[in-house]
Amino acid sequence: MSSVVKVLSGHARLRLVVQRVGRVPGVRYTNEKTTWVDLIHRRMVVEESDARVSVYSSDGALCRTVHLNLSHNQPVLGLNIRGGREYNLGIYVSKLDPGGLAEQGGVKMGDQILSANGVSFENINHYRAVEVLKSQPHVMLTIKVFLQTHTHLMSI
């Protein structure tokens, strides 16, 4: 640990690449906010809980990865979806349960779900999307962020 402190404090300028791969088993996280500046895309990002900005999609839209863990206290995801291949639409979040797991994770109404647990939602029918979302106690969503619904993303 002290060698890390020496490296971080021993240079006037430091380029640091950080990758988060999920939760560490047995470690509890709080609802603390982390603020950082993305100099490449010229925006300030505020991370809350497990909600985090991760990548851009092929059309240039901002995407996020959200981890939702079901429990005895939170046995459902707390979201409804609309759309599907049969409607020539993607899968979109149409409703959130107030205080529900999805809302706590930072999911917003109108977000498009691009994948869940590695299953692409880009050409999926509605029934199959529901099956995928209900199939595991841990759901890792990749969602397309619509900036007007995510006011914690600000241009700088």
For residue 22, give every residue at least 6 positions away whose Cβ sits within 8 Å of its Cβ, in sequence order, or none.
67
Give the tens place of pLDDT for each residue, 115-146. 999 999 999 999 999 999 999 999 999 998 76
Residue 125 included in any domain? yes
Q: Which pLDDT belongs to residue 32?
A: 53
Residue 119 included in any domain? yes
Give the tens place of pLDDT for each residue, 26-53. 444 455 555 555 555 555 555 555 444 4
Amino acid identity, residue 130?
V
Q: What is the CATH number of the domain that holds 63?
A: 2.30.42.10
Rounded CA-CA distance 84/61 in Å is 20
Residue 43 included in any domain? no
State the residue range of the domain holding 105. Answer: 50-150
Q: Which pLDDT belongs to residue 38?
A: 54
Q: SS3 of 87, please?
A: helix
Rounded CA-CA distance 8/16 in Å is 9
67, 138 in Cβ contact below 8 A? yes
Residue 140 included in any domain? yes
Q: CA–CA distance from 140 to each of 13, 23, 38, 42, 116 (Å)? A: 35, 12, 23, 27, 5
Rounded CA-CA distance 108/119 in Å is 20
Q: Which pLDDT belongs to residue 52?
A: 46
Between 36 and 14, residue with greater pLDDT: 14
Question: Into how many domains does the chain fold?
Answer: 1
Q: Which pLDDT belongs to residue 26?
A: 43
Residue 95 included in any domain? yes
Residue 42 included in any domain? no
pTM for this one? 0.60
